[in-house]
Every structure is written in structure tokens, then in C-alpha cells.
Amino acid sequence: MGLFSIKGTITAYGQHDILKDGCIYQWIEMQDEHGQRINVSKVFATNAILSLLVNLNIGGEFYFETIRGKKRLFGVKSMDGAVAFDEMNARARVGGLLFLQGVPLLLIFGLGAIPMAMGLFYLFTPNDSARREIFYGSDRDEAIRLRQQVPIRI
């Protein structure tokens, strides 16, 4: 499913484009807890996550998902106790767009079958519960504590 987490500190980030929904970083460089440098390329972070990424040298655990070769930072648990979790299921959104793009192309020699199949795959592979499970964990009390720290969007 392409879900992974990295425990460490953000040491640098590359060029980025600011969008209305968030920010796309060309790369984010991190140093994990063992001192190894990790470069994560093509990372999208929503505005909810960006509130914690303002400062370099933020340490904690960072949660990513891979969608069509791009990484999406969907959760952060910083060392100072701040928590951010992106509630939007991006796989379903991408799947719907792929499916809709494939419909008109289906009429042209059946070229739309491939994007439609990919769209259906993204729509029907359960990802939202896996994201919550990897972020909140299986400890019910810890999950309740973390949910209370995530800011409410109004």
C-alpha cells in the first residue's frame, strides 16, 4: 500500500511550490535516530501538516504514503508532543480522478481502460483504516490521547 514512517529530524528541504491545499517539496532531507541521512523526494504536505514543518530541525516521527510515485506526508508526531494528522484520503481522490479521465478515453480505441482500472484499484483498496492504524497504533488509550491533540478544522 505504500505506507511508511521515519523517526528522525528534518535537516533540510529543497525547492517547494506553495498551493492552496498545501506545499509540494522537491525533497526533504532527514536524519534518522541512528544518524543516517534519508532523502525523501516529491513530498506533498497539506496545510494541517505544514503548521509543524515551519521550523527546520523538528524531530519526531513522520508518516508517509506513496501514491503514483509521489509521497504524501499524512502525519507528524513531534518530539515536543505536537501532533498533526491529515484526514483526507488522497488515494480515493486520485482514484476518482483517474476513473473520470478514463471514461472519455474509453471511446477512443479503448485507451481509457487502463486509467479506469487504475482508478478502480485506488478506489477499492482500503487505505484509510491502514493510515489510522499506523499513525494511532493499536493502543486505544494512546489513540484517544493523540486524537485529542490533533487540531479541529473549522
For 56, 66, 103, 151, the CA distances from 30, given in Å and listed in that order, are 10, 17, 41, 25
The pairing of strands 37-46 and 22-32 is: antiparallel
pLDDT tens-place values along the chain, 154 residues long: 588 999 999 999 889 898 888 899 999 999 988 889 999 999 999 888 887 877 778 889 999 988 878 898 888 888 888 888 887 777 777 777 788 888 888 887 778 888 888 787 777 776 767 777 777 777 767 766 766 666 655 6
Domains of the chain: 3-88+127-149 (2.40.50), 90-126 (no CATH)
Joined together, the cell numbers standing for residue 110 give 479503448
Q: What's the predicted TM-score (pTM) here?
A: 0.77
Q: What is the DSSP string of 9-21?
A: EEEEE--EEE-SS
Rounded to whole angstroms, the Cα distance separating 136 from 144 reads: 8
Torsion sign across C-alpha atoms 129, 154, 73, 58: negative
User: In angstroms, rounded to a whole number, what is the distance separating the alpha carbons of residues 2 and 24?
Assistant: 18
